[in-house]
Amino acid sequence: MSNKVYRTLLFWLVWASFALIVTLGLYLDTGIWEFIKNDATKLTWVILALFLMSMFASFLLTMTLTRESIEVIQMESVAREKGLMGIATPLQRHASHRFFASLKEVVMANGPLNLEALLQTEISFYQRVSHGLAVMGNLLITQGLIGTVMGLSITLAGLSSSLEALGHDEALLLEGLRKAMGGMGTAFYATLMGAVFGGLLLRVFALITENGVEDLYDRIMKICLVYCAADCKQTEEKNVRILNGEVAALGANVKLLQAAFADSKQAMLEFREEARKLSDFGDGLEKGDDLAALREAIKMQKHYRVLLRQEIKLVDQVNRAWWPPLRRLFMSSRKRRPPPGPPHE
């Protein structure tokens, strides 16, 4: 498996380590945590909470993209050997599974094919989440600017009260100065947190996830253009390949039908044996045997009747119609053949 599968996760872990170092530096050098605990506006709490939520969403998206890349690598190895129809999409939990399942439906129906639009539709959720992370970074910067304005407003209010108390009320003067310093702290720390968390760290996280989505897009498109081109193109080779798949499925159904017939034959033999035993019991009853033996035989017959009903249902499920799809396939191939031209003299 290629090491590029884990490239997005590796970049995220490296940048998360850098973000942790930056956060610890802010905590140790500027004493920002003490101010956050005493912030009267609680705006720095909001900035920190939104950053942690966005970072967690970025980690979830990175892990999802890593799992998608692993699935795509496995599908590439299968498509290299068996083509599009060999790719199994059982659960469709991943966007790549849903894309290839939809692609096979379009190819089987011989409908118009647009790989770019179909792939964009399946991975659009990842693109929206990555774009949302970038928008959240801008929002944190905006909140930092709002904190600056709020802090300056608090500072002006504190200075105004200090000027009014100057010369006659020393306690009110000190309280106003303390309020003004708190406002300056709010303006400074809110701007700093908004710029660092939103403008620096979160934008790089969004860039990492965006590159992961583009890498997933390129991997899937490579599989379609290189290994699935014969299946996606309207050619006789594709029709033959589809016909081979239908014949293989028909052979598997025939084997299941044979097994069901064998089980039904065994059940009929057992039923015949039990019917013979019932007849013997009836003859014995006429000769004066115990009635309990007859009741026991009736219970056994009911059990085998249920068993026979299950076998018949199994035969009906296996013996499904296979001729109409095969006939439509031949008819579509015949319609696409050009009409014969006039004979040359």
Place of tokens 């018949």: 312
**Residues 9, 11: Cα–Cα separation, whole Å:** 6
Name which of 208, 196, 209 is nearest 20 in CA terms.
196
The answer to whether residue 342 sits within a structural domain is no
- At position 35, the amino acid (one-letter code) is F
Q: Give me 343's structure tokens.
A: 């004979």
- Within-domain flag for 343: no
Domain termination residue (choose one: 231, 261, 292): 231
Domain boundary among 207, 231, 255: 231
Domain presence at residue 39: yes
* pTM of the entire predicted model: 0.64
| pLDDT score recorded for residue 61 | 94
Is residue 134 in a domain? yes
Same domain, 39 and 183: yes
Using N-to-C axis directions, what is the helix angle for 115-165 and 170-193, rounded to 10°? 160
Q: What is the count of structural domains for the chain?
A: 2
Q: Residues 202, 140: contact at Cβ < 8 Å? A: yes
Domain that holds residue 67: 3-231
Q: Is residue 73 part of a domain?
A: yes
Among residues 178, 211, 231, the one where a domain terminates is 231
User: Based on C-alpha coordinates, what's the Rg of the chain?
Assistant: 37
Alpha helices in 83-114 (DSSP H): 95-108
Pairwise CA distance, residues 253 & 167, whole Å? 101
Kindly state whether residue 345 falls inside one of the protein's structural domains: no
Q: Is residue 43 within 8 Å of 186, Cβ to Cβ?
A: yes
pLDDT along the chain (345 residues), means of 10: 78 91 74 72 86 93 93 88 81 85 81 84 92 92 89 82 72 77 80 87 92 92 85 64 73 83 81 73 55 70 78 68 56 53 45
Residue 269 structure tokens: 């033999």
- E strands, 92-218, are none
Do residues 175 and 254 both lie within one domain? no
CA dist list (Å): 294 to 268, 270, 276, 308: 21, 18, 13, 21
Quote helix, strand, coil % in the chain, to nearest 5.
Answer: 85, 0, 15
